[in-house]
Structure 1
């Protein structure tokens, strides 16, 4: 099978390339904005540099998809949070361009990486199945865009019933090598990662409960969907839900209950002051996402998580504390010196055009 993967050099993409390399049965086309080095797991991939925000690159995208049996759409953006128009052009506009190019190239199967963030706010902590509404969390830019992408997939299924459409909805995706990338997304560039090993208290609402899944387990779900050509939506998460106490324990910190509204206000004020790169929508999302019932993934894909959520959390946090990285531009090592140089050249990541 010839498989094109957008965002193939990122967190999920790197895990998927490892999984496909283990299978050694498929041709892989990588569609990225910045081509990675040829070190594993990025070696042996046919790379196509394409910027999904640019209409000028649409012909290059269609050319990358030519002759492919399936497209896995992973590409998404998390920064710059002060430029929602750019994030919309990448997440929603990019998904539209991927769909159009896949249709034009005659691709028979589209696997779209959606998210638990596409779901409407939870009512309680009972796990929901794939029929839960995907209208997003209004206060979250990420969630609104994930929900908008789901509407594009609705249109594809309606207009092109011969195309197999698979929607994967994972919880928060973690792995060691994403450590540096997550630091860039969530921590001011001039703050050394060493501080994460010396957090005395964690001021966070005790009601937090979020689903997580390991990138390798998510990659396995993608491969199972590709090889079975199974349509529909699938929740993907490991047990148990991650709580505030779990996060505090991994950090070696003492948990201090602070209501979500107060946390949101502090995050919003510091974001507006350009002191840190996370907007308050991420707090809205964290306390709104439902827990997920993964029965359908188990019964129809034969999937199950091999890494528990608490281990995923620990591995991811330790990766952040150690500054873990990989040999792609997305997963590159994050250092204070590098962040300072980037800041002086391009400004803060929260408003940088191409973070």
Structure 2
């Protein structure tokens, strides 16, 4: 198959390219803003989905494709909401427009647990749960808005088979450096994560997680079967506050989420850290996931449970683990400080 992957150099995209390349039977096309070097077996196109100028490149890449796997999304700069909306929502709209023009028969869209509406209780939800998002989380609102664009595309009668994957938080060791850049101030070295004596956090936090390689395997299966509809993807055991504390080697100290939110908000507004409070709100609002449909219809089963995935992610952050793509490049304090001087802090960074 000729398969085009947007966001092909990111956390999920790099794993998807690796998994599909292993089959040895696909013609792979990778789209990314910053292209890797030494990635054989993939035809690369540089494209910025946040602007309409990407249209001609998308049409060129999509022409003759059997499927498009749309993974591209943005997490930073967290203070530039316009850019994040243009990349996430606008980028999805631009991908759908190019798919309509070129007649691509299959779209695999990377949605998220973040698209779901807040939970009513602690029971896992299946794919019928409403996807209206968490109002105070921009990431959640944007994922929900992208789902509405998919609804419109399907209702238009375009004839595209649309698959929506809704994973929990997706992690792997190689994303360690990227997560440090996105979530830890430039002055903080990676090894400091192992020096945290206490973790002040509400003990009620429960987060579904899944390993990046397990998501890539689900995508490979969906492409092979041309499976339609929505599929939840999550490891069987969620991550709790205690799991987070244990992985960090810290003692959990219960602090109500609203108190944590206040401190987090003040630090974000003061540009002391780059993670906005919407992520905290989403963590406490979103449900855990019932993955029965993926297991039955795709034959999918995760290879790692949630705590194991989180422990791997933390180990990757402590060692500043990296991949071979620009998104997953190594992170160090001197390098992060140099980037901050040249391009500004991550949360407000000017994009090259």
Smaller-chain TM-score bracket = over 0.9
Q: Secondary structure at the match of 2:230?
A: strand
Aligned mate of 1:67, from 39, 64, 77? 64
Q: Determine if contact 2:202/2:254 at 8 Å carries over to the other structure.
A: yes
Residue of structure 1 in register with 2:30 after alignment: 30
Residue of structure 2 in register with 1:115 after alignment: 112
Once the two structures are superposed, residues 81-123 of structure 1 have per-residue CA deviations (whole angstroms, 9 ceiling, x without a partner) of 1010000000000000011111111100000000000001111
Once the two structures are superposed, residues 174-229 of structure 1 have per-residue CA deviations (whole angstroms, 9 ceiling, x without a partner) of 10100000111111111111100111111100000010000000000001111100
How far is 1:300 from its partner? Answer: 1.0
Residue of structure 1 in register with 2:18 after alignment: 18
How far is 1:309 from its partner? Answer: 1.2
Which region of structure 1 is more displaced relative to structure 2, 56-65 or 5-14? 56-65
User: Number of residues paired by the alignment?
Assistant: 352
Q: Secondary structure at the match of 1:287?
A: helix
Which region of structure 1 is more displaced relative to structure 2, 189-198 or 168-177? 189-198
Once the two structures are superposed, residues 23-68 of structure 1 have per-residue CA deviations (whole angstroms, 9 ceiling, x without a partner) of 1111110010010111xxx321100101001111211111111110
Tell me the TM-score normalized by structure 2. 0.99
RMSD: 0.9
Aligned mate of 2:248, from 222, 245, 251? 251
Residue of structure 2 in register with 1:57 after alignment: 54
C-alpha distance in 2 between matches for 1:156 and 1:251: 44
Q: Determine if contact 2:100/2:158 at 8 Å carries over to the other structure.
A: no
Matches within 5 A, 1:195-206: 195-206=192-203
1:174 aligns with 2:171: yes
How far is 1:353 from its partner? Answer: 3.4
Residue of structure 1 in register with 2:124 after alignment: 127
Q: Which runs of 4+ in 1 moved over 4 A?
A: none
C-alpha distance in 1 between matches for 2:94 and 2:290: 31
Mark the runs of 5 or more structure 2 residues left unpaired by the alignment.
Answer: none
Q: Secondary structure at the match of 1:4?
A: strand
C-alpha distance in 2 between matches for 1:262 and 1:60: 47
1:289 aligns with 2:289: no
Mark the runs of 5 or more structure 1 residues left unpaired by the alignment.
Answer: none
Residue of structure 2 in register with 1:80 after alignment: 77
Residue of structure 1 in register with 2:303 after alignment: 306
Residue of structure 2 in register with 1:95 after alignment: 92
C-alpha distance in 2 between matches for 1:123 and 1:183: 33
1:348 aligns with 2:332: no
How far is 1:161 from its partner? Answer: 5.0
Aligned mate of 2:326, from 326, 329, 346? 329
1:265 aligns with 2:262: yes
Q: Determine if contact 1:83/1:353 at 8 Å carries over to the other structure.
A: no
